[in-house]
Amino acid sequence: MSENDLRQVELIAWLREQGHTDSQVERILAKVAEYDKQTLHESIFDSIDRGDFSLDTIIQEVLGQDQSG
C-alpha cells in the first residue's frame, strides 16, 4: 500500500469517526482530490517560476520517448 493510499484510509477512518455517512465521505474525498490536483498543478508552475523545475526535462523525456517508440 502506497503512502497516499494509507493517508486516504486514515482520512476515511477519521471522517467516519466524525460521524460522516459513506455518501458524505465520498463527496469529501472527491473535493480533497480536486484540491490535491489543483495544488499539484500550482506547485509545478510555482517551481517553474522559481527556476527550480524546467520544462526542458519533460520535453526531452517526451521527445526521447517519441523517437524511441
Q: Round to whole Å and give the CA distance between 2 and 64.
A: 29
Give the rounded percent of residues in the chain with a pLDDT score beyond 70.
94
* Whether pLDDT at 68 is above 60: no
* C-alpha cell of residue 39: 495544488
Q: What pLDDT is attached to residue 67?
A: 62
DSSP state letter for 14: H
Residue with more model confidence, 65 or 29:
29
Q: Round to whole Å and give the CA distance between 37 and 58.
A: 19
pLDDT tens-place string over residues 22-54: 999 999 999 999 999 999 888 988 988 998 888
* Ramachandran bin of 19, using left for φ above 0, alpha for ψ from -120 to 50, beta for the remaining angles: left
Q: Round to whole Å and give the CA distance between 25 and 50.
A: 36
Domain ranges of the chain: 3-68
